[in-house]
Structure 1
Amino acid sequence: MSDPVFRSDADAVEIMREYRAVLDHWPVPKQEIELSTSQGPTFVLGCGPETAPPVVLLHGAQANSAAWRPDIALWSRCFRLYAVDMIGEAGLSARVRPPLIGDTYAIWLDDVFTGLGLARAALVGTSLGGWLALDYAMRRPSRASALVLMCPAGIGRQKSFLVAVAPYLLLGAWGKRKIVEKVFGPAPKRLPADLEAISPLMDSISRAIKPRVIKIPQLSNAALEALTMPLLAIMGGRDVLIDSYDTRLRLERHVPNAEVCFIEEGYHFLPDQAPRVFDFLVRNLQGHDAQTCRDSKSCAAADE
C-alpha cells in the first residue's frame, strides 16, 4: 500500500513549482529524463559528458535532486551524473513508499539502470540515499563500481530522534528551530550561494512532506564484508539521527578497504564535501576519461 507523501495536494503543487524554479536555474547544462519503472515514473537529471564514467546520485529523505546543486558543477566536469529523484520523496518520481525490507528498491534501481543504459556505475548516496546505495551494492555488487556514503543509514545504530526532540515540539517556532539545528547544525549568518539557491525549497519541503517514520534495515556483518568495491564514507560526530561512532566502528572492522572520513564536529548535514568526493571518484573510477580529467587543466583548481 502506498503512503501519502505530502500533507495536502496544495502542498504538493507548491513544492513542484519551487522545485521547477530551481531546475530552471541549474548551474550546468542538463537533460531531464523520465523513466518507466516497476514503481511508476522516475525522474532523473543527467549532467556532464555522456562518455564520462557514470555516477548515480541518490539524495536523502525529505529532499529531491536539488540537494546536489552545490556539488554538481565540480563533479560534472569529469563524470556523467545521473541524479535520481527517489520514489516516495519530494521530487518528480512516483509518490509510493514500498517497505524497505526486501528487494523492491533494488528492482526499482535495476529499472533505472536499464532505462539509462547503465551496466555499471558509481553510487553516491546521502542518509537514506546512502542506505539505498548500500542495499543496491549488497544485492547487485557487479553493478556498483564504487560507493560514496555521506551520513549513511544502514550501518550504525539508528537513534530515537523523535523521542529525543519531542519536548521541543511543544515550544513553537523556537522549538522547531532548535530541532533543525540539532540535525543540520547552527545556521551560518550567510549561506554560500549554492546553498542559498536551494534553502527556501528545502524549508518548504520540511513543512509540506510527511516524514517516513520507519526503522531502516541494517546490513549484517557478512554483507558489509562482501563490499569489495572502493568505498568512501563521510560522517559527523554530532549526527543525531545515526550513531556515527557505530558506523565508523563497523566499517573499520568489516570493510577494511573503506576510506572513512570522520568529522568530529559534523552534523547529519555535511557541506563542502564536493572536493573530497571528487578526488575519491577520480582516484577510483578506472578508465581513460577519468584519468585524463584528473590531469587536465580544467580540473586542476578542483584538486587544490
Structure 2
Amino acid sequence: MPVGEFRNDRARDRFLTVYDDLVARLWPSSSVDSDVVTSFGTTRVHRLGSGEQSPFVLLPGSGGPSLMWHAYVGRLAASRPVIAIDPVGEPGPSVQTRAIDNGDEWSLWLDEILTALDVSQAHLVGTSYGGWIALRHALRSPDAVASLTLLDPGGFGKVGPKFLAWVIACGLASFTPRPIRRALARPLRNLALRDDEAMPLVKATFGFRRKHILPTPLTDDELGRVMAPTLVLVGGHSQLYDAGEIAATVTARMPRAVAEVIPEASHDLVLWHPDELAARIVAFAADTPVRPDVV
C-alpha cells in the first residue's frame, strides 16, 4: 500500500503556510514541538503543560491535524501534561515513509512515539479515526493506557455509505461561498462549516493523497479485552453509527466503559462545547486510579 503524501511541493507549501499561520494564532505559544522518528516516518509532536502525571495524548480524526484540539489544549494542560500528535499519512508536518496496514501497526507507531518521549503510561483522547487508534493501542499495549476518552470514535462498526456520502457532501460544501457554506452547516450537521478561520486549512487538505485503511470494527471479544477505564461519547446524530446501538454495545461489552449520547451533536462532536468536553476529559482522567509502578 502506498503512503499518504501531498500531491506536489506546491500543495505541501500551501497547506503548511495555512497551518503555520493558524498555529501562530490559535495554539499556545508555550508548546514545545519536536519530530520523532518512527518505523513509519517522522511524526511531529507538540508538548504542553508540566508535572509528573501521566499525560493526555491527543489523537485527531482523519484529515485533521493536531490543530483540531486548539480549543482543548489550554484547559487540559492546566491539569496535567499534554502531547498532541500530527499522525503520519495525514495532511500536516509529519512525513510517512511506510504504509500502516492494520491496527497493530498503528499501535506500534504510537508506542514508538511514546517510548521516544519517555512516556510509560498515558490517558489517550481520540476522535473518529484517532479514537480507533486509541482502542487498538489499548488492546495491544494495555499497561501503557491509563484511560481512554473517545469522541464519536471509529472501531464500533463498519464505515458505511452514509458516512462516506456525508464526508463528500461536507467537502463540496467547503468550497461554496461563505453564506451558503455556513447555511449548509445545519442540514449537514457539521459545525466545521461555520468555522471561517479553519476553512482555508480544510480546503488545503484536498492537496493531500490519504492512503490509510478504513478502521476495522473491534469484535465483541476484543471489546471485552479493553480493560482501561473508558469514556465513550457519541453524537446523537452521528453519521457513523446509530448512537443508541453503540452506547448499548459499549455498556454490554466493555467491562470498564461508560457511554453517553450527546443528543445535539453528530460526528462533529469534538466541536460542540469544547470547554465542557475538556472539563469532562480532565475529570475522567482524575478519577482513574494510578498504578503504583507508574507516576
Task: In structure 1, give the amino acid aligned to 2:279.
Answer: P
In 1, Cα distance between the equivalents of 2:193 and 2:171?
19
Is the alpha carbon distance of 1:121 and 1:12 closer, same or farther for their aligned partners in structure 2, counting shifts above 3 Å?
Answer: same
- The residue number in structure 1 matching 2:58 is 57
- The residue number in structure 2 matching 1:278 is 282
In 1, Cα distance between the equivalents of 2:168 and 2:128?
22
Q: Is the 8 A contact 2:66 2:84 kept in 1?
A: yes
In 2, Cα distance between the equivalents of 1:122 and 1:7?
35
- The residue number in structure 1 matching 2:107 is 106
Q: Is the 8 A contact 1:126 1:150 kept in 2?
A: yes
Q: Is the 8 A contact 1:98 1:104 kept in 2?
A: no
Q: Is the 8 A contact 2:126 2:149 kept in 1?
A: yes
- The residue number in structure 2 matching 1:124 is 125
Unaligned runs of 5+ in 1: 289-304
In 2, Cα distance between the equivalents of 1:280 and 1:170?
37
Alignment TM-score, normalising by the size of structure 1: 0.81
Query: How far 1:28 sits from its partner (Å)?
Result: 5.0
SS in 2 for 1:17: helix
- The residue number in structure 1 matching 2:3 is 3
- The residue number in structure 2 matching 1:260 is 259
In 1, Cα distance between the equivalents of 2:81 and 2:151?
20
Query: How far 1:214 sits from its partner (Å)?
Result: 4.5
- The residue number in structure 2 matching 1:292 is none
Is the aligned partner of 1:251 residue 2:253? Answer: no
Query: How far 1:165 sits from its partner (Å)?
Result: 7.5
CA RMSD of aligned residues (A): 3.0
Query: How far 1:57 sits from its partner (Å)?
Result: 0.8
Q: Is the 8 A contact 1:88 1:97 kept in 2?
A: no
Task: In structure 2, give the amino acid aligned to 1:79.
Answer: R
Task: In structure 2, give the amino acid aligned to 1:21.
Answer: D
Aligned pairs for 1:119-268 (under 5 A) are 119-160=120-161, 161-163=163-165, 173=176, 177=181, 178=184, 182=188, 184-185=190-191, 199-210=198-209, 214-268=213-267
Alignment TM-score, normalising by the size of structure 2: 0.83
- State the identity %: 27
Q: Is the 8 A contact 2:15 2:201 kept in 1?
A: no
In 2, Cα distance between the equivalents of 1:232 and 1:223?
17
Q: Is the 8 A contact 1:53 1:285 kept in 2?
A: no
- The residue number in structure 1 matching 2:17 is 17
In 1, Cα distance between the equivalents of 2:171 and 2:144?
43
Query: How far 1:283 sits from its partner (Å)?
Result: 1.9
Task: In structure 1, give the amino acid aligned to 2:2.
Answer: S
In 1, Cα distance between the equivalents of 2:3 and 2:245?
31
SS in 2 for 1:284: coil
Give the length in aligned residue pairs: 280
Unaligned runs of 5+ in 2: none
Moved segments of 4+, more than 6 Å: 164-172
In 2, Cα distance between the equivalents of 1:15 and 1:261?
35
In 2, Cα distance between the equivalents of 1:151 and 1:136?
17
In 2, Cα distance between the equivalents of 1:165 and 1:260?
25
Query: How far 1:114 sits from its partner (Å)?
Result: 0.9
Query: How far 1:185 sits from its partner (Å)?
Result: 4.6
Is the alpha carbon distance of 1:163 and 1:71 closer, same or farther for their aligned partners in structure 2, counting shifts above 3 Å?
Answer: closer
Q: Is the 8 A contact 2:40 2:100 kept in 1?
A: no
Query: How far 1:122 sits from its partner (Å)?
Result: 0.9
